[in-house]
Amino acid sequence: MQTYYSDLLVIGAGLAGERVAVDSAEKGFNVTCLSIVPARRSHSSAAQGGMQAALGNCAKGEGDCPDVHFGDTVKGSDWGCDQEVARLFADAAPIEMRRLAHWGVPWNRVVPGQSFYFKGGQKFEKYEKPENEGLITARAFGGTAKWRTCYTSDGTGHAVMCTMDNRCAQLGINVLDRKEAIALLHDGETCMGAVVRCLRTGQLEAFISKATAICTGGFGRIYKATTNAVICDGGGHIIAMDTGLVPIGNPEAIQFHPTGIVPTDILVTEGCRGDGGTLLDVNEERFMNIYEPEKAELASRDVVSRWMTHHMREGKGVKSAYGEHLWLDIRHLGDKHISTKLREVDEICHHFLGVDPRTELIPVRPTQHYTMAGIRTNKDGAAYGLKGLFSAGEVACWDMHGFNRLGGNSLAETVVAGGIIGAKIVEFLEGYETKLKTEIVTQECKKQEQRIKDLISGRNGSENVYDVRNDMQEALMKGCFVFRNGPDLEETVETLQKVLERAGRVGLQSDGTGVNHELAAALKIKGQVKLALMIAKAALDRTESRGSHNRVDFPERNDAEWLTRTLAYWKEGETLPELQYEDASQVFEIPPGERGYGGGTIIPADEQFVKERTIKKDK
């Protein structure tokens, strides 16, 4: 078997992974990055909106600073985040954006003079100062007090990903694509790399390293309807969880977006509603104005998703070959607006639906979008439970997003966290030596080979992996979607436990040779169902509503009992995850309060507790 050695092994070559890799490589350490697809195809390149950093260069960003950004982030998280982490993030974000500019990102820049912008369909005027000409500019995004979102035209993720990958090429970092990690190498205390399946040959390989960083992005694909790429399937979460030592933080915290198109769940921007688009039901009647008379379509992502789901459950959905959906109507915005301001939406409608949004309705439904849930790390990015294991980006629960992340904050997180954690890994590597235990490598590789043989031979059974996956996805859509309640969650847990048993009996229909996709799916199906069970069980036990976690039977945000973070462990041989809890934040710069949107009542935390933890920032 082929064996590779490096100081740092980064699993995942999206923005977070490559940013982590850069620091170690700059310091002369030997770094290998693995990715399922060529790095630039990572999901980071799909983000079009932009990334938040309080540069305060543009007119509508005047007066912005890391403190304001910090405040928005904490409120956005519904006080579920770690405030020390949110502070680290907000302070470092502007520097990181400038660094990206130095490396080559073509950020849009301030153009001096008068210009116009639209808000709620109305035209306003702004004036950009001549002295700021050529500095990085910003646009507006939901949930932010200032214009803070740095961008490059309509392709921020793509542009930043290109630059980061160029930087890796320049530093000679070994970025290997078509490599999928399927297990970690560890002795119960220390992580020593990973077992990897080569997606060119189908062979197993061992990657041995002093430090390992998991940066594999979100796991949206365990839901049926998701905006995520097909490779966002939880592989990184699974290899960490499978150790039994590393917990998944806040598995119940999953974000949904109101307007994924049907059938492919590709995202159409929030701008459609921002600019005056409306949502219609099967009778082509508006309904958001009934549920939310004031804000209607412009209520927050979570709120709109909830009402859409409710309305479909009332039988007002449109039936289709791909399940029920509703309509998004932007016809009244007119040709000029659609072909300029909403060009991208126009293109998506054209390419994926064959629909002309000037004259036709767009089929949409709420769709899984982002996982706040993830591998729990401390503020240095070190995973709980295993020495030498780190994690960054969407896969991690570092935890600056708490129970809801703000638009533009996750792309920024990938590079900011990547930078901070990359530097911490350098500290770790300096002067660190590990003893390689070859028997661990041999044992783990044998175990994985056996798993593959069993799947191919059908030794465990002949369940079809795609059927099992489908049932898992359906169960999550039913019980762990935008609305949750006790009885449904209990049922979901039971259903998923049965699905887990079946996942143990999967056998391949094909012969599994080479880069066989059925085998890839089969290798992770059990892990996926376990993740699904973590979501369902954590959601069942969390008897409150916070951020994206909405319990119909417990509508209050209960700070008295639930100002906590869930830690979900999967111990070998168990049929349910073990749930533990820790305080959401050790300190409060901003004591728990109202978010300023989304309504809902709050059961306050103990005053003394809050007082003891409240700190003044020493600046």
Partner 1 sequence: MGRELQFEIFRYNPQKEGDQPRMQTFKLEETQNMTLFIALNRIREEQDPSLIFDFCCRAGICGACAMVINGRPGLACQTKTKDQPNKIVLHPLPVYKLIGDLAVDTGVWFREMYEKTESWVHTSKTFDPTKEEERMDNEVAEQIYELERCIECGCCVAACGTARLRDDFMGAAALNRIARFVVDPRDERTDKQYFEIIGNDNGVFGCMGLLACEDVCPKGLPLQNQLGFLRRKMGITAIKEIFRK
Q: Which residues are catalytic?
A: 301
According to DSSP, the β-strands at 122-128 and 113-119 are antiparallel
Residues 121-140 that bind partner 1 (CB under 8 A): 133-137
Cβ at position 245, least distance to partner 1 in Å: 31
Q: Name the one range near ligand FAD by CB under 6 A: 89-97, 273-281, 393-401, 493-501.
A: 393-401
With tokens 């020390």, the residue in question is 84
**DSSP type of residue 606:** P
Residues 131-170 that bind ligand FAD (CB under 6 A): 157
Task: Name which position in 6, 7, 9, 13 contacts ligand FAD (CB under 6 A).
Answer: 13
Q: Is 611 exposed, middle or buried (0-12, 13-18, 19+ CB in 10 A)?
A: exposed
Residues 411-440 that bind ligand FAD (CB under 6 A): 411-412, 414
Residues 330-369 that bind ligand FAD (CB under 6 A): 369
Please say whether the beta carbons of 186 and 192 come within 8 A: yes
Residues 51-80 that bind ligand FAD (CB under 6 A): 51
Q: Report the partner that residue 264 touches, choosing among partner 1, ligand FAD, none (CB closer than 5 to 8 A by kind).
A: partner 1
Task: Name which position in 14, 22, 40, 529 contacts partner 1 (CB under 8 A).
Answer: 40
Q: Report the partner that residue 518 touches, choosing among ligand FAD, partner 1, none (CB closer than 5 to 8 A by kind).
A: partner 1
Tell me the site size for ligand FAD, rule CB under 6 A.
Answer: 48
Omega of the bond leading into 247 within 30 degrees of 0 (cis): no
Helix 465-479 crosses helix 486-503 at what angle (to 10 degrees)? 170
The whole-angstrom separation of Cα 505 and Cα 560 is: 43
Cβ at position 230, least distance to ligand FAD in Å: 11
Residue 248 phi, psi dihedral angles, 5° rounding: -95, 125
- Per-residue b or e along 104-129, where b marks 16 or more CB atoms closer than 10 Å to that residue's CB: ebebbebeeeeeeeeeeeeeeeeebe
38 lines the binding site for partner 1 (CB under 8 A): yes
Task: Name which position in 21, 54, 86, 175 contacts partner 1 (CB under 8 A).
Answer: 175
Residues 325-354 that bind partner 1 (CB under 8 A): 348, 351-354
Residue 598 phi, psi dihedral angles, 5° rounding: 85, -5
Please say whether the beta carbons of 262 and 322 come within 8 A: yes
| Alpha-carbon dihedral 270, 275, 276, 281, rounded to 10 degrees | -30
| End-to-end alpha carbon distance in the chain | 55
1 lines the binding site for partner 1 (CB under 8 A): no
Residue whose CB is less far from ligand FAD, 300 or 409: 409
Please say whether the beta carbons of 207 and 226 come within 8 A: no
Task: Name which position in 513, 575, 580, 601 contacts partner 1 (CB under 8 A).
Answer: 513
Cβ at position 389, least distance to partner 1 in Å: 26
41 lines the binding site for partner 1 (CB under 8 A): yes
Contacts of 35 (CB under 8 A, 6+ apart): 12, 13, 14, 17, 42, 175, 176, 177, 178, 179
Contacts of 27 (CB under 8 A, 6+ apart): 426, 429, 430
Task: Name which position in 27, 129, 158, 310 contacts partner 1 (CB under 8 A).
Answer: 158
35 lines the binding site for ligand FAD (CB under 6 A): yes
Q: Name the one range near ligand FAD by CB under 6 A: 5-13, 108-116, 575-583, 600-608.
A: 5-13
Task: Name which position in 6, 9, 12, 175 contacts ligand FAD (CB under 6 A).
Answer: 12
Closest listed residue to residue 481, CA positions, set 229, 225, 260, 218: 225
Tokens of 610: 């809050």
The whole-angstrom separation of Cα 183 and Cα 73 is: 34
Please say whether the beta carbons of 591 and 607 come within 8 A: no
Residues 356-375 that bind partner 1 (CB under 8 A): 363
Task: Name which position in 321, 336, 430, 619 contacts partner 1 (CB under 8 A).
Answer: 321
Task: Name which position in 110, 389, 493, 533 contacts partner 1 (CB under 8 A).
Answer: 110
Task: Name which position in 142, 202, 274, 591 contacts partner 1 (CB under 8 A).
Answer: 202
Cβ at position 326, least distance to partner 1 in Å: 16
Task: Name which position in 149, 212, 414, 516 contacts partner 1 (CB under 8 A).
Answer: 516
Q: Report the partner that residue 11 touches, choosing among partner 1, ligand FAD, none (CB closer than 5 to 8 A by kind).
A: ligand FAD
Residue whose CB is less far from ligand FAD, 176 or 472: 176
Contacts of 214 (CB under 8 A, 6+ apart): 11, 12, 236, 239, 240, 375, 383, 389, 390, 391, 395, 396
Q: Report the partner that residue 230 touches, choosing among ligand FAD, partner 1, none (CB closer than 5 to 8 A by kind).
A: partner 1
Q: Report the partner that residue 354 touches, choosing among ligand FAD, partner 1, none (CB closer than 5 to 8 A by kind).
A: partner 1
Task: Name which position in 6, 8, 9, 14 contacts ligand FAD (CB under 6 A).
Answer: 14
Residues 242-301 that bind ligand FAD (CB under 6 A): 267
Amino acid at the residue 170: Q
Task: Name which position in 2, 3, 115, 320 contacts partner 1 (CB under 8 A).
Answer: 320
Residue whose CB is less far from ligand FAD, 143 or 317: 143
481: helix, strand or coil: coil
- The 192-231 contact track toward ligand FAD, x by CB under 6 A, reads -----------------------xxxx--------xx--x
Please say whether the beta carbons of 152 and 108 come within 8 A: yes
Q: Is 447 exposed, middle or buried (0-12, 13-18, 19+ CB in 10 A)?
A: exposed
Tokens of 33: 């990055």
Chain residues that interact with ligand FAD, rule: CB under 6 A: 11-17, 34-37, 39, 42-44, 46-51, 157, 179-181, 215-218, 227-228, 231-232, 235-236, 267, 369-370, 393-395, 407-412, 414
